[in-house]
Structures are given as C-alpha cells and as structure tokens.
C-alpha cells in the first residue's frame, strides 16, 4: 500500500462502494487494490443488473458521504475546527472520486453483451431467447448512453469540480 493512499479517502470510498455493491449483489470479490489516485476491485463475472449496480455504486455512495461529511463539517466548525477540516477534506475527496471511471462505465454494456451471447448460444427455448434478446436490446442503448456520459465526465476535471461544488452547495 502506498502511503499517499491515506491522503485520498475518496479513492478508498470509491473502491469500497464497488466492493459493497458486489457483496449486495452476491458477486464474489477476489481482491481490492487501492493506490494513491486509483484502484480496482477484482470480482467474478456478473449479470447486467449487478454490473449496473457495481459500476454506479461509487456515484451514490460517494455523493452521500460527501453530502453528509460536509454537513458534519459545517456543524463542527465552531466547536471542533480540526475535525471540521478533516470532514471537509473527506467530503471534497469523496465527491471528487464519486464519478465512476470509464472502465466502470464500459463494464455495463460488456456484461449485457456477454449475457446475451450466452443466452443465444445456450440450450434455451425460442421464446426465452426472444424475450431476453428484446430486453437486452432495450437496455443496451441505455448502458451505452450511461457509458458515454461517464466517459465525458472523466475527460474533464471541470466536470468533477462542478460535481463537488454542486454537492457542497446543496449541503
């Protein structure tokens, strides 16, 4: 573990959110590796629903933690300014790292396509194959749109700063 990782609680929260989503979706986690500015959760292959949950978990968890930590920092400022600074740092870091990575985003359509291929090549009835294919045909464009939005969010530091600023203004 890199000592600088301690200074980036948002990375820990981001990867922890992925791991939590894996546990909630009953997907086996093999390892969690966190570096100073990035990390990875290695887990078993999963279905499309769990892929959505795992990919978007940091957005929900990171945003909630950022909001709550900023609220707590504001309340602690008068009586415990040191604690308020730490909570503010956690809030900003968590909000900054709440945006799912490009890899996270593209895991969603990858899981949908993998499952669709598995169903089409499997020994299933025609009706089952047809309904599943239609379902995946509907969800795939949404997953690609989600991936594109997340990709664009990751290309600009301004988007991340705006996200954090929005959280702090709402808090």
For residue 26, count other CB atoms closer than 10 A to its CB. 9
Q: Do the beta carbons of residue 36 and residue 97 sit within 8 Å?
A: no
Helices (H) and strands (E) in the chain, counts: 6, 2
CA-wise closest residue to 133 among 115, 145, 147 = 115
For residue 109, count other CB atoms closer than 10 A to its CB. 21
Tell me, what's the pLDDT at 102?
83
**What are the domain boundaries of the chain?**
3-170
CA-wise closest residue to 10 among 89, 72, 81, 71 = 89
Q: Write the DSSP symbol of residue 123.
A: S
Tell me, what's the pLDDT at 7?
55
Q: Do the beta carbons of residue 17 and residue 61 sit within 8 Å?
A: yes
What is the spatial distance between Cα 25 and Cα 53, in angstroms, rounded to a whole number? 8
**pLDDT one-digit tens code per residue, 61-101:** 999 999 999 999 999 999 999 999 999 999 988 988 888 88
Q: Is the pTM of this model over 0.95?
A: no
- Kindly tell me the sign of the dihedral angle through the C-alpha atoms of 103, 87, 33, 46: negative
Residue with tokens 């499997």: 122
Tell me, what's the pLDDT at 4?
46
Q: Do the beta carbons of residue 153 and residue 59 sit within 8 Å?
A: no
Residues with pLDDT less than 50, the chain = 4
State the pairing for strand pair 29-34/39-43: antiparallel
């Amino acid at each position: 573990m890199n000592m600088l990782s301690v200074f980036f609680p948002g990375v820990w929260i981001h990867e922890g959110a992925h791991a939590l989503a894996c546990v909630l979706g009953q997907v086996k986690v093999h390892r969690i590796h966190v570096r100073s500015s990035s990390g990875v959760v290695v887990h078993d292959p999963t279905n499309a629903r769990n892929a959505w949950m795992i990919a978007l978990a940091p957005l929900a968890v990171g945003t909630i933690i950022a909001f709550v930590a900023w609220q707590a920092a504001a309340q602690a400022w008068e009586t415990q300014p040191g604690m308020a600074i730490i909570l503010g740092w956690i809030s900003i870091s968590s909000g900054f790292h709440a945006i799912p990575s490009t890899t996270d985003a593209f895991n969603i359509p990858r899981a949908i396509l993998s499952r669709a291929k598995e169903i089409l090549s499997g020994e299933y009835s025609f009706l089952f194959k047809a309904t599943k294919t239609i379902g995946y045909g509907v969800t795939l464009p949404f997953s690609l749109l989600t991936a594109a939005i997340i990709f664009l969010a990751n290309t600009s530091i301004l988007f991340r700063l705006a996200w954090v600023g929005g959280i702090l203004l709402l808090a």
